[in-house]
Amino acid sequence: MQDFMRRFGDKLCWSLGPPSATGMILKTLLITSLLGWAKCQESHSMTAEEMTVIRNQIIEMFDHAYGSYMKYAYPADELMPLSCRGRVRGQEPNRGDIDDSLGKFSLTLIDTLDTLVVLNKLDEFEDAVRKAVKDVRLDNDVVVSVFETNIRVLGGLLGGHVMADLLRQRGDRMQWYQDELLHMAKELGHRLLPAFNTTSGLPYPKVNLRYGVLNPLSRTGTESDTCTACAGTMILEFAALSRLSGESVFEEHARKALDVLWERRQRGSDLVGTVINIHNGEWVRRDSGVGAGIDSYYEYLMKAYILLGDNVFLERFNVHYSAIMKYISQPPLLLNVHMHNPTVSVRSWMDSLLAFFPGLQVLRGDLKPAIETHEMLYQVTKQHKFLPEAFTTEFRVHWGQHLLRPEFAESTYYLYKATGDPYYLRVGQSIVEKLNAYARVPCGFAAVQDVRTGTHEDRMDSFFLAEMFKYLYLLFSEKNELPIDIDDYIFTTEAHLLPVSLSTTQPPCQGNNTTVPVSHEEDLFTHSCPSTETLFPNNPSFAKTIRDSYKYLTGVGRKIRISSDRPVVVFNLFSTFLSLQEHKGVYRVKLVAEVSQTPEEEVVVPHVVQLISPPFLGRTVLTAGPAKFGMDLMKQEHGGSIVKASPYTACGPIDNAVELKGHIALALRGDCMFAAKARWLQEAGAIGVIFIDHHEGSNSEETPLFQMVGDGDSTEDITLPLVFLFSREGAVLTAALEKHHNVDVLLLPKERQLGHGEDQEVEEDLRGERQSQQQQHFCSKATEDDRTEPCSADSSATPNSNSGPDTNP
């Protein structure tokens, strides 16, 4: 890592032009920085023997995960670790957009190829390459995500090829290899190219591997929007493919997409939004942050400069980075703002994907905020065992799911390599221990459905093998213990390895000559590597000093005294303070009001869906979760007849609007946000919406209720009453509708249900087996006079239920 940063620094320093006073100063600073990489001498030190033990433990864990995939799942795309079988698209219940990663191309095998080399499993790597060449097809009639297929499959093939070519050149193995993985990468690249056939140059979000986008058989091409990261995370893989194959078309398309995003930035703030129209370039969602929807766009600007040596990418990154630090960064928090009015916060929670950002800040040389944010994230993991998919500014769970994401481990690796502080080895050790304690199952590692309950979900995403084990193994390895010189490579967002030599050994495509005015806010390391000696002179424990300010973020530990002569923002759940800065004062005063009025535990008032038409007559009552937007059912209950929406996901124009008008709609969670569904259904004339969870087996007995939230933009236009049912409760309602056709319901708070207090509540009696889901009967037994009697609640649970608060259900 340090050697890589030295070479990266040489490129950065001399990119300023011919030797000059400034160049010589930066060169001197760079040399000084190399002398400043000293390990902190603190109680967190770790012996070489301890590191070896943990490294061997990581290898054993990888063997368990990869071995389980190969034994139980291959050639399927992913392993279902609770079911001990492979996930084959079309053979399992549809999970919405999540399944767009699956293309029947042995996703996990390809995503893991270069991890095998890093972990020195060269025999397994050679065997995996043979399997990929022999078994994997890329022309399947399946619609896939352009973004996911690019970073996982194209990146995996390129990383595998680079490793195979290296081993072949060494002469001791892979002599049979004839660039087959590169040929497969080129084929896949051509299959992704039809997605770029738009007027703007921004790609469609999905493509059919066999039929492209606009072919009548493609079953896609109707989408109008894509996320910023989806369009802006192509350049590393596409440029590498162009440089390795000699076909410039890939790099040209990826550069064009980046040009569009750059031109569409908000010129006043230099921020970009989250979702953009691929045809006219207009922003659809204007919230701006560094997490989901935008994250890897910023990452790829920086890394494209490192990989390709093109100044335009560094210049663009630096402009964006200054805006991020001015508006979004509220150390240690990173909070989304409105791109056109960046003093306005759009939400009071953060998502786990932003955990990559401290690692990117290390590459940028901005160590202090990297240390601060990373420490905040570590404190959250200590409180909840893992990073929840989203958490509030007071570090309570917002979405409880944890998908075994690697971003926190990634930033931990970068910070250790940059600081040499053994504290980060201890952080890495905690990640290893928690994975073994709370995610390990007999057939691999399972995602955590809710960090509050510890229940598992039947999924092990391919990125767990591609990224998590790679970063953890590298964290505990010295350079001489690796089979490759890791400093010769740049990590893609999926942690695939591309050689930094591409910029000098392979010809570039036609130049991109965009220029950016030099910012007046450039700092010492805008064009240079970080220097710990310059940033923190004569202070080997600088990282600890920074961390100590955030040791008690989650409320565990000391209380602090607040100085009366210093304006502060006080978070009432944890003990810390943040000084008001003049240019952020308005926002932070607003944050005080938001936080101070928030109770220590978010109270979710249970609602119900009460079936009131015959034969139910109010005796069937289903526990439901409320929404933070739409009609307030606490003030006024709402009733009507129910009709199932078509399409059931309600993510576009409603086909049965005539039938639905004046009725309460049933809509399935998934594919788009709750707010988007509500708008489509409201436009179709619905008078209310009952959302039903698409994760089979989820139920209100085992999973905490949550409040549905909006999509980051204003939801004042949504006036419908909205409630959410878990899968089992939803099955009761849909079975009742299927049998009786005309079912009237009331939507209201549980405490105000009809007959409340008269012991008439009926609990659903559902077995939850997948085979019987389509034949479920509503939980009431018909008597001779067609009235209903209570059923006993079934305590059996499906362990792989997955549900939790989400704006993107």
**Whose CA is closest to 698, among 674, 717, 670, 718?**
670
Q: Can you name the residues that pair with 351 across neighbouring β-strands?
A: 390
Compute the distance between CA of residue 553 and CA of residue 376 in angstroms, rounded to an integer: 7
How many residues are recorded in the chain?
809
Reported for 281-284, long-range contacts at CB under 8 A and 24+ positions apart, including other chains, are 281/200, 281/202, 283/339, 284/225
151, 229 Cβ separation under 8 angstroms = no
> ∠458-95-102 over CA atoms, to 5°?
85
Catalytic residue among 77, 111, 287, 295: 295
Q: Could you please report the per-residue DSSP string of 633-675?
A: TTT--EEEEEEE-SSTT--S--TTHHHHTTSEEEEESBSB-HH
Contacts of 171 (CB under 8 A, 6+ apart): none
Q: Which residues of 199-221 are buried (b: 16+ CB within 10 A; e: fewer)?
A: ebbbbbbbbbbbbbbeeeebebb
**Whose CA is closest to 212, among 184, 192, 189, 198?**
192
The verdict on whether 148 is a catalytic residue reads: yes
> CA-CA-CA-CA torsion for 502, 360, 61, 484, nearest 10 degrees?
30
> CA-CA-CA-CA torsion for 500, 295, 533, 550, nearest 10 degrees?
-150
Q: Can you name the residues that pair with 390 across neighbouring β-strands?
A: 351, 399
Catalytic residue among 111, 299, 389, 765: 389
- Whether 112 has a binding-site annotation, put simply, is no
Compute the distance between CA of residue 566 and CA of residue 243 in angstroms, rounded to an integer: 56
**Whose CA is closest to 62, among 448, 487, 474?**
474
355, 387 Cβ separation under 8 angstroms = yes
What are the structure tokens assigned to 334, written together? 């990173």
What are the structure tokens assigned to 486, written together? 């890791």
725, 626 Cβ separation under 8 angstroms = no
SS3 355: helix
Compute the distance between CA of residue 456 and CA of residue 446 in angstroms, rounded to an integer: 6
649, 667 Cβ separation under 8 angstroms = yes
Determine what percent of the chain falls in helix, strand and coil, rounding each to the nearest 5: 40, 15, 45
Catalytic residue among 407, 410, 533, 765: 407
SS3 208: strand
**Whose CA is closest to 149, among 282, 260, 286, 241?**
241
Which residue positions form the known binding site for Ca(2+)? 493
Catalytic residues: 148, 295, 389, 407
List binding-site positions.
493
